[in-house]
Structure 1
Amino acid sequence: MASENSFTGDQTWVDQMRKTLKSQIAVAIDTPPLSIFSIPQSLKDEKPAAYVPKRIGLGPKHHFQTKLYQNMQQNKLTAIKRVVKPHQIPDLEDQVAEKIKQIIPVVFACYDSFPEMSEDAFAWLFAIDGLFLLDQLGAYAEKGFAIDVKDFIMLENQIPLVVLKEIENALLQYGDRKVEGLWESKFRFFAQANSPFLLANENIDFSRVNHLLGYMYHSIVNNEMMTSRDVNFMNPGSMQAEKPATEELLEAAIQAAGIINIPAAKPFLGVLGSIEKLLHESEEETSIEEIKVPSVSELRKTAGVKFELSTNEEGIRNICFVDGTCRLPVITLNFKSEVILRNLMAYEKLMAKNSIMGGFGLELTEYVDFMCGIIDSVKDVKVLREQKIIEGDLRDEEIVQLFNTIGRSLGYMSGLSSLRKTVAELNKVYDSVLSVRIKKEAEKQARAAAKAITFLVSISGALVLARQALVQASGSNTIQMLVSFVSQLLGSFFSF
């Protein structure tokens, strides 16, 4: 079993690798890809409740968390009893655990980390959690009931499909029924009931499904139909938000006035300082990076852009802008939606980062980035509700909050995706409006003025320092008069 710091020497490492490889080769099924990740701390810091289960801990990452274990373990055992009792097979739970034990070497490959435990303990852990999940999915399909739907969709809380298939094989006693069909129907019902988006009509290649969250993702974004493109990720902080030109100009003016230090200007500087403080506070409240595109209400009011609902056959990869109309797919938002969206995005980004076989882009992440860009206020949500693009019982204010607190992705796909082309077309139409062109030109001039003031402030500051240094060094009245004259000239410039 691997651990983070298990390397103890060359021969020990060789022996461990030989044993691991032989055990994986000995298993008759293909080794699944890494697909269950520890959520990066940066994401957890944004919204801890979206990634950490509240009631149900599944798999090695959360099964033994004290509170979850104490509150749910007996419920799990009761659920297992409901599953195995109808089969009337003696010690069926032992048979399930034994079958899982045989594939533990490939189950390890699904996780980016796992605790030190015996294979017997792992087998029983997955037998308990897998049978419990089977019971809950069955109850959900029959009665629409589950203990906590949000916990079942969290990335760290997934049970690998290879484990679920072995459980189904044990329950069916190697019968003729197709395991894939049984699990797909359960996954499909759960995904349809809880996905914020319409699912693809075509059947998903179940050999590419890793777990329940992965099935929902593939049903939303059909990667088989697209040409794989490279995904690049930037370091946090590498994308700096551009300050408004007016703020740059104010900062430059404050800096200039502060260096010149004109006593009569102090009340004016106090006002400017207050304005700058307010601007900074406003910037902090909306510091989440967004895709650069005007809001729905701005596009409609200023550029006359219309928004319409796409046809039912089209999903998030079919957003388009044609003849002045932007067509968007329906999204249904309720109290579960933010957790589901965040975990789908985390799964997509981590698979794109870690998949050695490729095939993962950032289509879902790009869509959420786009929605973050076009939704700035309740007015934007109301327009989309009128067109049936946004549905569900989440309040308008909560929708604005949702799309203004999900941070912009630090990843991008090589080439220009269809959604990025749509964004470029929307920006082109918006920027062609006369009032927008005038506004942008004014901002450009203000920014240029700010740079000029900053440059002159730097020179004046250097001259002041030079005067002080030269006076102290030589006491020369001539040099002092020269530097003073230049400073006065610069002072008269700033006083305009």
Structure 2
Amino acid sequence: MANPNPDETTMKIKAMLEEAQPLFTEECCIYRVPHEIRKHNEDAYTPKVVSIGPFHHGNEKLQKIEAQKRIYCREFIQRSETKNLESFVSCVQEVEPKIRGCYSEDIKLSKEQLVMLILVDSCFILELLCRYHFKWPYRDALLRSLRLRIYIRHDLFLVENQVPFFVLEKLYNLAFPSTLNSGNHSHPSLLWLTRYIVHLGIFDNSDKFEASLSNDVRIDHFTDLLRKLVLISSHLLQPSSPGCSREAELTHLYSATQLNEAGVKIEVNKNSQCLLDLELSGHCLRIPFIRVVDSTEVVLRNLLAFEQCHCMDKAYLTDYVAVFDFLINTDEDVDFLIKKGIMENWLGDSNAVAEMFNSLGVNIIYPDFNVQYSRIFERLNALCAHPCNKKVATLRRDYCNTPWKAVASVAGIFLLILTVIQTVFSIIH
């Protein structure tokens, strides 16, 4: 058998190497959740009713709403000032290469197919936001169903189910140029509209919502928006903030009940404006209030997955979840935090809350850890390890954990002292 021509082999290898494309680009911000993380709760990363972007496009379970998406797209274009489909198509065509680079996988769609997909999905989202703003939910067959509205909001924040935010901005600005430029607020800013689907419980005043995000803060997509709203309220997006340092190593921390038994006073941080603000003063650990609802696990899992894929060096929410993973080992820890006013459990089952926090950190990588949290861990562990603290905490737990026990213990000590005095006087006389 004749050996292959070396020149021919070289040409084939050269062609193969030139065809190779990078897996990630500088624009990449929308990711498939890694299998090691996804396998523990696939439903948390999978859309329920609506596919956004290419990753879940074509899923048979999500076809029912495809026709409605096209209707919304058509009506958004009709709602716009231009009412010109060609200008919207051209707008997406111009940035198609950049859009393609935003996804972590090679999109098996032609340029035309991707433009159609992104245009329909983006205009669907924009029309949805407009209908919320103009109070249309109860006149809209799609939004009339409360369950469907909740599922759509759920799907819009999944890390795999995104379109780039800059596309939404370009299309929205194209649709309403005069209102945006003239100061006429018949159509508010896009960021303002997103508040209709972002419900964090930390933006009670709608005026604070838009003011929290300055113009120089880049938003990649809705998952990123949700994360940045949390971090901005804790100033973690400001490089000068002392809470930004993540050069420590993750170490062990005792559970909430163990800390309490060791004499650590745990109470709710009423002055905190952010979930992430832990404070330790003396023997008192203050933790911000958290409400655990049905969507909490989905939101946290997607935020963690995004940090693991996109910004592991700034994984502040991952650090926060690690804290609760340590604090909560059993349902007793959950009940203790509820008793202290730190946690509100809308799931009903304390064991379910414990299992949720214990599972969130599975297969999560911690190359670095929050320095502030690490220092708190060291001080708390030192308090727990000190023998005097353990003895005092044991006495407090066994003899002073209720008012009646405390009274009985004091009375017992007083009687013991009187008995000793009486015995001494008897011996003297």
Conserved? CA contact 1:352–1:361, under 8 Å: yes
Of 276, 283, 291, the residue aligned with 1:324 is 283
Q: 1: distance between equivalents of 2:201 and 2:361?
A: 19
CA distance in 1, matches of 2:283, 2:248: 32
Higher alpha-carbon Rg: 1
- Give the SS at the match of 2:380: helix
Q: Output the amino acid matched with 2:162.
A: Q
Q: Letter of the 1:185 partner, please give it.
A: W
Q: What is the TM-score of this pair, normalised by structure 1?
A: 0.63
The equivalent residue for 2:94 is: 102
Letter of the 1:305 partner, please give it.
Answer: V
1:74 aligns with 2:67: yes
CA contact (8 A) 2:56 2:161 kept: yes
Q: How does 1:210-359 map to 2 (within 5 A)?
A: 210-222=220-232, 223-226=236-239, 292-300=252-260, 302-353=261-312
Deviations 1:124-158 (A, max 9, x none): 11111011112333445545845422211110101
> Does the CA contact (< 8 Å) of 1:198 and 1:315 recur in 2?
no
Q: 2:337 maps to which residue?
A: 384
Deviation at residue 341 of structure 1 after TM alignment: 0.2
Q: How many angstroms does 1:54 deviate by?
A: 2.0
Matches of 1:134 and 1:231 in 2, distance apart?
A: 40
CA change 1:312–1:129 in 2 (3 A) is farther
Cα distance between partner residues in 1 of 2:177 and 2:273: 41
Among 116, 135, 145, which residue is 2:127 paired with? 135
Q: How does 1:107-126 map to 2 (within 5 A)?
A: 107-126=99-118
Deviations 1:286-329 (A, max 9, x none): xxxx96222112211x2222222223543244201112111111
- Say which of 279, 298, 318 aligns to 1:365: 318
Distance 2:383 2:188 in 1: 48
Matched, 1:187 2:199: no
Corresponding residue of 2:354? 400
**Counterpart Cα distance in 2 of 1:325 and 1:230:** 24
1:187 deviates by 2.6
1:338 Cα deviation after fit: 0.4
Residues 382, 423 of structure 1: CA spacing in aligned structure 2 closer, same or farther, 3 A cutoff? same
Aligned in 2, Cα 1:417/1:79: closer, same or farther, shift over 3 Å?
same
CA contact (8 A) 1:196 1:333 kept: no
Q: Are 1:198 and 1:330, in contact at CA under 8 Å, matched by a contact in 2? A: no
Note the C-alpha offset of 1:10: 3.9
Does structure 2 retain, via aligned residues, the 8 Å contact 1:316–1:364? Answer: no
The amino acid of 1:176's aligned partner reads N
Change (3 A) 1:58 1:48: same
Return closer, same or farther for 1:149/1:377 CA change in 2, 3 Å cut-off: same
Which residue in the other structure is 1:413 paired with?
A: 368
**2: CA distance between counterparts of 1:209 and 1:407?**
26
For 1:169 and 1:426, the matched residues in 2 are separated by: 52
Q: 1:435 to 1:303 in 2, by over 3 A?
A: closer
Matched, 1:86 2:79: yes
Q: Which residue of 1 aligns with 2:427?
A: none
Q: Is the 8 A contact 1:53 1:151 kept in 2?
A: yes
Distance in 1 separating the partners of 2:99 and 2:388: 60
1:55–1:307 distance in 2 versus 1, CA, 3 Å: same
Q: What is the aligned partner in structure 2 of residue 489 from structure 1?
A: none
Contact 1:35 1:110 in 2 (8 A): yes
Alpha-carbon separation, structure 2, partners of 1:38 and 1:378: 33
What secondary structure sits across from 1:410 in the alignment? coil
The whole-number CA distance in structure 1 between the counterparts of 2:50 and 2:220 is 20
- SS in structure 1 at match of 2:39: helix
Q: Distance in 1 between matches of 2:336 and 2:361?
A: 23
| Residues 419 and 230 of structure 1, relative CA distance in 2, 3 Å threshold | closer
Query: Counterparts of 2:340 and 2:188 in 1: how far apart (Å)?
Result: 37
Aligned length: 351
Change (3 A) 1:392 1:8: farther
Which stretch shows the higher mean deviation, 101-110 or 305-314?
305-314
Q: Which has the higher helix share?
A: 1
Deviation, structure 1 residue 209 = 0.9
Question: For 1:71, what is the secondary structure of its paired residue?
Answer: coil
Match of 2:181 in 1: 176
Q: Normalising by the residue count of structure 2, what TM-score does the alignment of the two structures yield?
A: 0.72
| Alpha-carbon spacing, 1:420–1:103, altered in 2? closer, same or farther (3 Å) | same
Percent of aligned pairs with the same amino acid: 20
Give the residue type in structure 1 aligned to 2:335: K
Secondary structure at 2:57 match in 1: coil
Check the 8 A contact 1:229/1:413 in 2, yes or no: no
Residue 462 (structure 1) aligns with = none
What amino acid maps onto 2:95 in structure 1?
I
